[in-house]
Amino acid sequence: MEAKSFHHALKVRDDLCIGCTHCMTVCPTEAIRVRDGKAVIIDDRCVDCGMCLRNCPVKAIHIEHDDFKNIFDYEHRVALVPAVLSGQFPEDITVAQIYSSLMELGFTAVYEVEHGVEILLEAAKKFVNNSAPNLPVISSFCPAIVRLIQVRFPALTENVMLLKPPLDIAALHIRKLYTDKGVESEKLGVFYITPCAAKIAAIKSPVGEEWSPISGVINMDFIFNKIYKSIKQNGKNDSCYLPKIDPLTREGVMWSLTHGEASPMQGRCLAIDEIHNVIDFLEKLENEEIDDIDFLELRACDESCAGGVLAVANRFLAVERLKKRAAGLTSVSELVPSEMSHDSIALSADYIINHIAIEDVNPRSMLKLDEDMAEAMKKMNQRNSLLKALPQVDCGACGAPSCQALAEDIVQGKAGIEQCFFIRNRQISAGKLNMAGSTSIIESIWGKKKLKKPESENI
């Protein structure tokens, strides 16, 4: 069962926002408007992809995450680390050094998220085989893509793979491991170090699940700086004590990168990254222009998690480092059970398989104009009529990203047609609106400051 409302990690700081529309024009779901000179995020449309954060020139958009001090609320503090974190550091800094620094910062254990990949891979292959003819199966790995499908491509929600991603699998294993050791649930804190905003949102309001086994989320850019500073101050050595941890498989290290899921899958599998590329492909898929595909790996970020908005390193260099790390590791097919530690996730395989499924992913269409079907049809007709009257130039001067977005806002009572610059000029010319009224409308969109006379008349 999914949460009734979306949690959003992306927030706008009104004290910094200048209402420049950079965020509004790049948002792939038209989730941003400008009102009173400030950007406003529409909750029902936002998928937390982070495109607005990337493009804000004044850093007015930020990501809310849990306070690092929260880890000390727990006796046992486990850091769930994605493999992509190791790709953020120069090659002369080892994974062991990164882990050591995390424990010096206060964690009592470190566990890489992708340890559950070998279990998920087998479950995913079975899921795809059992899904015919309802293909392609769309990976549930990227929460921004799952939300994108819910709000923009609701007809494709039936194609989403109903299996937990590696993050949730790893968290389940950790909780079972500590429970089996007699640790009380309230004494165990499981914290994920995230490269993106969407995973924060997914943990705070899971889709297809009632709750998340993860206690909190910490931004990767924040933790990177703390680790890097610690290593620089303490020197580069591997002398710190670390518990024995099974090494990741080659597939595990590569899983969060583009082609990481698609490559080991069977049948015709495609990998597509960057959310606008994904949207272009899903539009063709929805229109039945593409068929005969078994599995789709879709990621919101360019180069997948290496290009996450909270990643620090250049994404191409991060990918190169991770590929080098993977090259020296064992493949899933070459795993030797006798070499696994007593804490290995493979020993929890039966438990994980019994808990790996998620419930149906339900549509949450941003195109829904009303809950009542008759009223929705009425509003759709009104929207189509308004679109004929609007200029179709998508200039953004109305504070909405497109003429269609403005028309939808109008029929939902969230905007007026006078917000359109062209309509407003027609009304002034026809004597239906005076200049004072026009100025008031402009101020409601762009704020009073933008209409003030410059300090110097020479400007």
**pLDDT, tens digit, 9 for 90 and up, residues 207-248:** 877 788 999 999 999 999 999 998 888 765 555 555 566 788
What residue has token string 């504070």?
399
19-55, pLDDT tens digit by residue?
Answer: 999 999 999 999 999 999 999 999 889 999 999 999 9
Mean pLDDT score of the chain: 90
> Terminus-to-terminus CA distance in the chain, angstroms?
58
pLDDT at 459: 52
pLDDT at 337: 54
Q: Which of 235-239, 305-309, 337-341, 422-426 has the highest mean pLDDT?
A: 305-309
pTM of the model: 0.89
Q: What percent of the chain has pLDDT over 70?
A: 92
Q: Are 93 and 225 in contact (CB under 8 A)?
A: no
pLDDT at 375: 85
Mean pLDDT, residues 70-78: 96
pLDDT at 41: 95
Question: Could you give the CA distance from residue 218 to residue 200 in angstroms, rounded to a whole number?
Answer: 8
Closest CA to 285 of 408, 190, 145: 145
Closest CA to 47 of 291, 379, 282, 358: 282
pLDDT at 243: 53
Inter-CA distances, 248 with 203, 220, 254, 424, Å: 23, 20, 10, 62
pLDDT at residue 127 tops 90: yes
β 10-12/109-112 pair status: unpaired
Inter-CA distances, 287 with 17, 63, 258, 281, 295, Å: 38, 35, 25, 10, 18
Inter-CA distances, 332 with 248, 346, 382, Å: 9, 11, 56
Mean pLDDT, residues 71-92: 95
- Name which of 197-206, 274-283, 395-404 the model is least confident about: 197-206
Q: Are 214 and 78 in contact (CB under 8 A)?
A: no
pLDDT at 336: 54
99 Cα distance to chain centroid: 25
pLDDT band for position 376 (cuts 50, 70, 90):
confident
Question: Could you give the CA distance from residue 59 to residue 400 in angstroms, rounded to a whole number?
Answer: 21
pLDDT band for position 338 (cuts 50, 70, 90):
very low
pLDDT at 393: 92
CATH architecture for residues 10-63: 2-Layer Sandwich (3.30)
Q: Cite the residue boundaries of each domain of the chain with CATH code 3.30.70.20.
A: 10-63
Mean pLDDT, residues 158-165: 95
Quick one: tokens of 163?
């299996």
Mean pLDDT, residues 299-308: 96
Mean pLDDT, residues 365-384: 82
β 76-81/188-194 pair status: parallel
Q: Are 45 and 10 in contact (CB under 8 A)?
A: no
What residue has token string 């486990």?
78
CATH 3.40.640.10 fits 373-447, yes or no: no
Q: Cite the residue boundaries of each domain of the chain with CATH code 1.10.15.40.
A: 373-447
